[in-house]
Structure 1
Amino acid sequence: MNRRPLPQIVLGVVIVVVGVVGLLRAMGLVDLSLDDLFSTWWPLAIILVGLAALVAAPRAWIGPTLIVTVGLLFQLDNLDLLDVAVGELLWPLVIIFVGLSLLTNLGTRGTDDRTINSAVIWWGSARRTTSQQFEGGSLSAIMGGIEVDLRQAGLADGAEISVFTFWGGVEIKVPPTWRVQVSGLPVLGGWENKTVPPADPEAPVLTVHVTAIMGGVEIKAGD
């Protein structure tokens, strides 16, 4: 039986609670202003999404960390705990993210890499490997795109890829002999696993953990 991932369950519970509080207020059973509550604490939703993304795809930590940081800044500003305007801090955060993405992409970029790590913002990246012991990696796309070609690669045991996308897209191409298992957290986004499970019960397994926030991930076999 398929089970919902924990981050999705937590977000669902929070949304239901907000709806129940609103219903009780409309019925006159509670005296609570949702407008005041929302205007003060709405950044907690951003923080929660970022934390859920970290749980769903921990290896793709750069994007979720940025989201959590932005949410914390807005929350501190709402509580009058910041002496600096949030807008003045956002650009430095973006610059830091760009620097982290460059550091993440450092190292070999040959066609025999065992891992593929890529983080992009406002641009695209195309990676390919033919390693016969591919171990996985992390992919973060914020308002950009990443293409990964694994069609000539082989899998190591326990291979995993963590994917985070925010207003972006990620495409992963795999051999038709692989079994691909996908799970994660969709927030106004999602993923599509176009692969067909092979008949071989001993087929190599690639596990993909996805967080898709207003973005998409596509995994397909062959061309």
Structure 2
Amino acid sequence: MQVFLGVVIVAVGVVALLIQLDVVDLNLGQLFADWWPLVIIGVGLAALISVPRAWVGPSVIIAVGVFFLLRTLDVIDVNFWELWPIAVILVGLSLITSFGRRTSDEDTINSTVIWWGSERKTRSRQFKGGSLTAIMGGIEVDLREADIVDRAEIAIFALWGGVEVKVPPTWRVRVSGLPLLGGWDDKTTLPIQDGAPELIVHVTAIMGGAEIKS
């Protein structure tokens, strides 16, 4: 995300410089007014590349960016607030996907919440990871009674939402990701023994956050 934002800033600076030097004849204000949704689309694409397993949230951002781009280019003439039934449909789908078979020994945990909350727990002895997407909602995952064989990976996407993951103190946790007006807090402790099982956490936090703690 930092690279993407850096490229965008450099590109804007270069265009502004060329305009000031009369190398190109462009109206920077009009250019921004027409193409600003590309920033939203770019954020969504960067998030999708960062956490492809948690694709729901980035896809929503990309869809919103495409909608605004089509509006600014006068391809469509639809008021954004006229599409509120779509939000209702998304909430309903998130509720539907939250039902079904839930066991205490799941090897993977996948959860998507929109304006909602979710609590998940597993005691699997071969936990492999999963994907967690929180959009204006929250997810709590309890892995304290689980175990990993070698390594597991979790992808987290938080948009105006939060995700909390509790892990055993014997796990080695490595967190990386893309913060945009958000971030994560790693409160885990380093295990004493060598060869500790490892949990890799990839976080994309957009005005949201994630907390991983022992």
Query: Would you say the 8 A contact 1:144–1:169 is kept in 2?
Result: yes
Report what 1:154 is aligned to.
Answer: 147
| Aligned residue type for 1:171 | E
Q: Deviations over 1:146-177 (max 9, x none)?
A: 11111111013441111000111111110011
Q: Secondary structure at the match of 1:156?
A: coil
Q: Secondary structure at the match of 1:182?
A: strand
Q: Does 1:111 align with 2:104?
A: yes
Q: Secondary structure at the match of 1:198?
A: coil
Query: Would you say the 8 A contact 2:91–2:115 is kept in 1?
Result: no
Query: Would you say the 8 A contact 1:66–1:97 is kept in 2?
Result: no
Report what 1:37 is aligned to.
Answer: 31
What percent of counterpart residues are identical? 64
Report what 2:15 is aligned to.
Answer: 21
Where does structure 1 lack aligned partners over 5 or more consecutive residues? 1-6
Q: Does 1:200 align with 2:193?
A: yes
| Aligned residue type for 2:44 | G
Root-mean-square deviation (CA, aligned residues, Å) is: 1.9
Q: Secondary structure at the match of 2:128?
A: strand
- The alignment's TM-score, normalised by the length of structure 1, stands at 0.87
Deviation at 1:34, TM superposition (A): 2.1
Residues in 2 aligned to 1:178 and 1:220: alpha-carbon distance in whole angstroms = 11
Report what 1:80 is aligned to.
Answer: 74
Q: Does 1:48 align with 2:42?
A: yes
Q: Quick one: which of 117, 130, 141 aligns to 1:137?
A: 130
Q: How many residues align?
A: 214
Report what 2:63 is aligned to.
Answer: 69
- The alignment's TM-score, normalised by the length of structure 2, stands at 0.91
Residues in 1 aligned to 2:150 and 2:96: alpha-carbon distance in whole angstroms = 27
Report what 1:172 is aligned to.
Answer: 165
Where does structure 2 lack aligned partners over 5 or more consecutive residues? none
Deviation at 1:29, TM superposition (A): 6.0
Deviates more, 1:20-29 or 1:59-68: 20-29
| Aligned residue type for 1:16 | V
